[in-house]
Structure 1
Amino acid sequence: MITFKELALEENILQAVEDLGFVNPTEIQEKAIPVLLSGEKDFIGLAQTGTGKTAAFGLPLLQLIDHNEKHPQALIICPTRELCMQIVKEMVNFKKYIKAVNVVAVYGGANIMMQIKDIRRGAQIIVATPGRLIDLIERKAINLEKIKYVVLDEADEMLNMGFQEDIEFILQNTPEREATWLFSATMPNEIRKVSKRYMQTPVEVTVGKINTTNKNIDHQYYVTSASNRYETLKRLIDFNPGIYGLIFTRTKVDAQNITEKLIREGYDVDALHGDLTQPQRDKVMGQFRDKALQLLIATDVAARGIDVKEITHVINYELPDDIEVYTHRSGRTGRAGSTGVCISIVHSRELYKLKQIEKISQAELNKMEIPSGKDVCRKQFYFYMDRLLNADITNEEYETYVPMLKEKFAEMSKEDILKRVAALEFDRFLNYYEHAEDLNIHKDDRSKNKKDFERGGKERKSDRRDFEGDTTRLFINLGTKDGFHKANFIQFILDISDLQKSSLGRIDMKEMNSWIEIDKKAANQMVRALDGKKFKGRKIRMNDADSVGPRRK
């Protein structure tokens, strides 16, 4: 693995990169930077969102422009205000030791006169959305005749948003450009046409396969009835305490309706859709970035260009019609080497879409059981206990109240105190989920839609209710609390036991432990391989399920 020092970048740029904690370039950076530093080649970079494309073009631009000339020399075009601001923020970090370079953001919804003043003060790099840039061109407030480098970032999203004519107009108004660099997650025919018309024998680099999804993302789907879709969404949110995510809907009406329902039930959420004014949109995005909101409900158009770090979950309230959109949605999580979860809530009639998504995106979609009410309460309870144990009690002011607390609770046992603490937090969950219905569609229910299911549904062997052959059940003291989901758990036990997936039946995972249905002939081999081994410092216990009591519901 190479380092940034091997990419022929100047020392002041390398120092800024080092200050940011970056040592090794991502794949797109490693392949793009040496080509772009020549400054004379058109370039097409195909890479998914979140792979470090801003540094891939931003670092070469800082090295290529003439720092002594104060007119615009480089133009970065992107689809949305949010992405525009994000690029400027990163470019400012990259130019930390190059004080003579100014980067100006140009986008709609902000004071155009202030943007004009910033450009006239002297700006070598302009980051712009197409509409506002054209407005400035028509006002003759910006001169693009000396632009040498044009970068089209998120080109596929710009075309999806109807900016093709705007992009062509901008390219026509940069007659002296020496290089055009195009970055995109996908390569639709419209982009290919633009590249043929305005680029000369571009160097093309593809990182991963086009339309494939990030391998750090766990793709899950839950099958329920259409009438239970909202209740399933709410249960999945409750089952993932600490979730920080995006929920995608098809329409702005759905986004608003779901938001209003969740707010009434006490969730920290808000909506992002086309009916919001720019100040309203800025306010919502600011709250979400600051994590004052736990969830953002958005339509695909409204979410274009959103770049928020540390998103743990993306939830498809409904599957998108366009499979490329699924890739864009899921790509909002699992960024910069972190892991993420993409959840889809589907009806059995939509299962054929999952097959198409798997085929084109090359992502394995794992069928999951919608958690029961007891599962939700248990998950919330463990999460609360962790918060309680990790609470910061270093503030000396607490000492003032300790004598009072001791006196108040002197005649109460520790157990009673703990019960009362739990009751304050959990009465709502316990009352709501005490008689919660099963939201899963089971085998008998699916038979009504057998034709649709056979067309596209893909139950994995590990999810089968009926296993062919003589089987037994094994217990293991590993579960979802250990960081496992069904797919990587299966891979884990198969890798250690050296067994084939065909020997497994149903896998039933819970918070603290799991049950494995397995061919009787293979059971002893698996027990010998795993029982007594250690996982993250904890001793694994595996044995016959009947020896540990009844199966947990």
Structure 2
Amino acid sequence: MGNFKDYQLNPDIINAIHDMGFEEPSPIQEACIPTILEGVDVVGQAQTGTGKTAAFGIPVAERVTSQPKIQALILTPTRELAIQVSGELKKIAKYKRIKTLPIYGGQQIGHQIRALKQGVQVVIGTPGRILDHIRRKTLRLQDVKLAVLDEADEMLDMGFVDDIEQILKEVNKDRQTLLFSATMPPEIKKLTHRYMDKPKWISISHNEVVAPLIDQFYYKVLEKNKLESLCRILDQQDIELGIIFCRTKRGVDELSEALQTRGYMTDALHGDLSQAQRDKVMNAFRDGELEFLIATDVAARGIDVENVSHVINYDIPQDPESYVHRIGRTGRAGRKGLALTLVTPREMTHLRSIEQKFKHPLEAKDLPSLEEVTERQQSLWKKQIIELLDKNEDLSVFSEVIDELVQHYPADKVATAALKLAFNDSLPSKDAQYNFGETGASKGMVRFFMNVGRNVNMNPKTLLEEVSDLVGISPKVIGRIDIFEKFTFVEVPEDVAPFVYEALRHSRIHGARVVLEPAKPRERDTSRSSRQAGRSNHNRRSEENRKSNERGKRQYSRPNHKG
């Protein structure tokens, strides 16, 4: 690892870096700073939270002079990121006479025009508002010698590609262009070919960035118990600030309301909020007035809050790239972070694709038990009561009530009842359970009926792999498998039966739609098996099918079809 002094920077920049507490450059800074200072175009691939703002900010501050003209333009996807980048550049250039100005929508344009007229050297802004100023001729870019596209993939995801191209056409042609992005989709590569001059590509691998700072785990949860599972996790973890991601705006609102009802300090952040509402929510989050920010992917882009300790994927992200963006909101500025993902049985395949993409397997964790959560809650209650007693606050308003009650009831009973009133809502509730009833399975197992069999080329190996992949369990725990012409029976352990049920009941095997039902007891298989198969396939039952299935059962029901 090098040292910032090795880059022969202006002493004013070195002093500012020292004031910021930077001791040595991060991998992306070490790779980019000397290359950018050479004057060549650079494409940097590194995710959020790796120090890439300083990777381009230090060279920008080094090369920009105090002349009253715009010499650097930095494009960001969101106003939050524009403000953050501007703040970082002010720190880096605080001993140089350089003015930076963030420009974004939601702020009065007249204020921005007046600031531009006073003279600035570096403009940081969102594409829409930058383009607005260009059209008004209040922003002239003919003297720009450094153009930076920060979080380029996010700008493309938000539909800014046309705006970016129009802006780059207005920028001085004799410029150095820098592009930073966590991922490199084809659209980004097209931009580099069209608007950059033989760029040098610098990539910091996923494992170098994420593994040391962010611990990643997943919890396997049932869809019907998802909210309860989340609350157990929240109650077990020591969370400073947390961001919880949902897939839709409606999901964000519903989860935020559900958590508020349960006593958690949360608020929602999504695209339907006005800028004033967004600012209010973000300020409350930064100031610690909220425990959790519930957000969609788009709304959370550009958020850079250093003390976010947890990122929780309530809904698994749509693609591997979104997963990287989400977890990059924690583990920032050298801090440790924790990324937790809730995965339903039907989402296991999607989780595996994320793991495969980044070659980083996530470790499975068991949900906290009722007993574990209750024990932690009791510890917190005791702590709160002790803190209140130690403060010697005036509690006389409650004394009369207590004095009257203890005349009729034991003091310990009164205290217990008071605790129940105060903390009952924070107690974990039991999960809603599936009741499969008697299925004719071996002890400790549940037996399921499936409406497909040898007619879709089903065999024990296929079924074992399907159940194992979809549910995330070892094939060794699967019990007896009986495969017939048009239906199948399979036994699985009771503790994973709900996951098997949710994963397989609407899946497909070899293209055939699977309908899964709890099996009937074995002594009634002979009379009901063909009826179950007929119902599941929605075919009219016939005596011929019944006889065929009965013959199939006598011929193929063998104990050795076993996992």
TM-score normalised per structure 2: 0.73
Structure 2 counterpart of 1:106, which letter? I
Determine helix, strand or coil for the equivalent of 2:267.
Answer: strand
Kept in 1, the 8 Å contact 2:4–2:24? The answer is: yes
In structure 2, the residue matched to 1:119 is 116
Kept in 2, the 8 Å contact 1:80–1:305? The answer is: yes
In structure 1, the residue matched to 2:249 is 252
**CA displacement 1:297-327 (0-9 Å, x = unmatched):** 1111111111111112111111122121111
Structure 2 counterpart of 1:120, which letter? K
**CA displacement 1:9-34 (0-9 Å, x = unmatched):** 21111111111111111111111111
In structure 1, the residue matched to 2:63 is 64
Unpaired segments ≥5 residues, structure 1 = 467-553
Q: CA deviation at 1:415?
A: 9.9
Given the superposition, is the C-alpha separation of residues 260 and 419 from structure 1 closer, same or farther in structure 2, using an over 3 Å criterion? closer
In structure 2, the residue matched to 1:497 is none
Given the superposition, is the C-alpha separation of residues 452 and 111 from structure 1 closer, same or farther in structure 2, using an over 3 Å criterion? farther
Q: CA deviation at 1:451?
A: 6.1
Given the superposition, is the C-alpha separation of residues 417 and 264 from structure 1 closer, same or farther in structure 2, using an over 3 Å criterion? closer
Report 1:151-166 matches (<5 A): 151-166=148-163
Distance in 2 (CA, whole Å) between partners of 1:328 and 1:446 is: 40
Unpaired segments ≥5 residues, structure 2 = 437-443, 451-462, 479-563
Distance in 2 (CA, whole Å) between partners of 1:265 and 1:141 is: 50
2:3 aligned with 1:6, yes or no?
A: no
Kept in 2, the 8 Å contact 1:377–1:429? The answer is: no
Residue among 87, 90, 93 paired with 2:91? 93
Determine helix, strand or coil for the equivalent of 2:298.
Answer: coil
Residue among 347, 351, 359 paired with 2:348? 351
Kept in 2, the 8 Å contact 1:185–1:211? The answer is: no
Distance in 2 (CA, whole Å) between partners of 1:445 and 1:109 is: 59
In structure 1, the residue matched to 2:264 is 267
Which of 450-459 and 127-136 deviates more? 450-459
Given the superposition, is the C-alpha separation of residues 369 and 169 from structure 1 closer, same or farther in structure 2, using an over 3 Å criterion? same
Structure 2 counterpart of 1:455, which letter? D
Kept in 2, the 8 Å contact 1:367–1:459? The answer is: no
Distance in 1 (CA, whole Å) between partners of 2:414 and 2:51 is: 50
Determine helix, strand or coil for the equivalent of 1:75.
Answer: strand
Aligned length: 455
Residue among 375, 378, 393 paired with 1:378? 375
In structure 2, the residue matched to 1:297 is 294
**CA displacement 1:110-142 (0-9 Å, x = unmatched):** 111101111111100000100000000000001
Structure 1 counterpart of 2:78, which letter? T
Kept in 1, the 8 Å contact 2:242–2:312? The answer is: yes
Structure 1 counterpart of 2:155, which letter? M
In structure 2, the residue matched to 1:501 is none
Distance in 1 (CA, whole Å) between partners of 2:334 and 2:447 is: 40
Residue among 469, 472, 481 paired with 1:455? 469
In structure 1, the residue matched to 2:232 is 235
Distance in 2 (CA, whole Å) between partners of 1:440 and 1:286 is: 46
Given the superposition, is the C-alpha separation of residues 422 and 59 from structure 1 closer, same or farther in structure 2, using an over 3 Å criterion? farther
Determine helix, strand or coil for the equivalent of 1:302.
Answer: helix
2:139 aligned with 1:142, yes or no?
A: yes
In structure 1, the residue matched to 2:307 is 310
Determine helix, strand or coil for the equivalent of 1:301.
Answer: helix
Q: CA deviation at 1:46?
A: 0.8
Structure 2 counterpart of 1:79, which letter? P
Structure 2 counterpart of 1:231, which letter? E
In structure 2, the residue matched to 1:543 is none
Determine helix, strand or coil for the equivalent of 1:261.
Answer: helix
Q: CA deviation at 1:238?
A: 2.0
In structure 1, the residue matched to 2:29 is 29
2:201 aligned with 1:187, yes or no?
A: no
Distance in 2 (CA, whole Å) between partners of 1:202 and 1:12 is: 29
Distance in 1 (CA, whole Å) between partners of 2:124 and 2:313 is: 31
Report 1:357-376 matches (<5 A): 357-376=354-373
Instruction: State the percentage of identical aligned residues.
Output: 39
Structure 1 counterpart of 2:43, which letter? I
Distance in 2 (CA, whole Å) between partners of 1:302 and 1:269 is: 15
Determine helix, strand or coil for the equivalent of 2:179.
Answer: strand
Structure 1 counterpart of 2:58, which letter? L
**CA displacement 1:49-104 (0-9 Å, x = unmatched):** 1000111111111110121x111000000000010011111111112212x21000
Given the superposition, is the C-alpha separation of residues 272 and 402 from structure 1 closer, same or farther in structure 2, using an over 3 Å criterion? closer
2:41 aligned with 1:42, yes or no?
A: yes
Higher Cα Rg, which structure: 2
Distance in 2 (CA, whole Å) between partners of 1:165 and 1:74 is: 21
Determine helix, strand or coil for the equivalent of 2:300.
Answer: coil
Structure 1 counterpart of 2:224, which letter? S
Given the superposition, is the C-alpha separation of residues 144 and 351 from structure 1 closer, same or farther in structure 2, using an over 3 Å criterion? same
Structure 1 counterpart of 2:30, which letter? E
**RMSD value, Cα:** 3.5
**CA displacement 1:360-385 (0-9 Å, x = unmatched):** 12222122222122111122334555
Structure 1 counterpart of 2:356, which letter? K
Distance in 1 (CA, whole Å) between partners of 2:22 and 2:209 is: 25
Distance in 1 (CA, whole Å) between partners of 2:467 and 2:183 is: 30
Q: CA deviation at 1:211?
A: 11
Q: CA deviation at 1:443?
A: 8.0
Structure 1 counterpart of 2:35, which letter? V
Distance in 2 (CA, whole Å) between partners of 1:392 and 1:137 is: 63
Kept in 1, the 8 Å contact 2:228–2:431? The answer is: no
Report 1:138-537 matches (<5 A): 138-209=135-206, 213-383=210-380, 426-430=423-427, 432-433=428-429, 444=446, 452-459=466-473
Distance in 1 (CA, whole Å) between partners of 2:166 and 2:465 is: 50
In structure 2, the residue matched to 1:131 is 128
Kept in 2, the 8 Å contact 1:314–1:341? The answer is: yes
Given the superposition, is the C-alpha separation of residues 143 and 236 from structure 1 closer, same or farther in structure 2, using an over 3 Å criterion? same
In structure 2, the residue matched to 1:546 is none
Kept in 1, the 8 Å contact 2:76–2:82? The answer is: yes
Structure 2 counterpart of 1:74, which letter? A
Q: CA deviation at 1:243?
A: 4.8
Kept in 1, the 8 Å contact 2:262–2:425? The answer is: no
Q: CA deviation at 1:458?
A: 3.9
Q: CA deviation at 1:447?
A: 10
Distance in 2 (CA, whole Å) between partners of 1:400 and 1:257 is: 38
Distance in 1 (CA, whole Å) between partners of 2:191 and 2:116 is: 28
In structure 1, the residue matched to 2:522 is none
Distance in 2 (CA, whole Å) between partners of 1:178 and 1:465 is: 63
Kept in 1, the 8 Å contact 2:27–2:204? The answer is: yes
Q: CA deviation at 1:239?
A: 2.1
Structure 1 counterpart of 2:141, which letter? L
Distance in 2 (CA, whole Å) between partners of 1:21 and 1:385 is: 39
Distance in 1 (CA, whole Å) between partners of 2:435 and 2:375 is: 19
In structure 2, the residue matched to 1:493 is none
Structure 1 counterpart of 2:170, which letter? N
Given the superposition, is the C-alpha separation of residues 225 and 113 from structure 1 closer, same or farther in structure 2, using an over 3 Å criterion? same
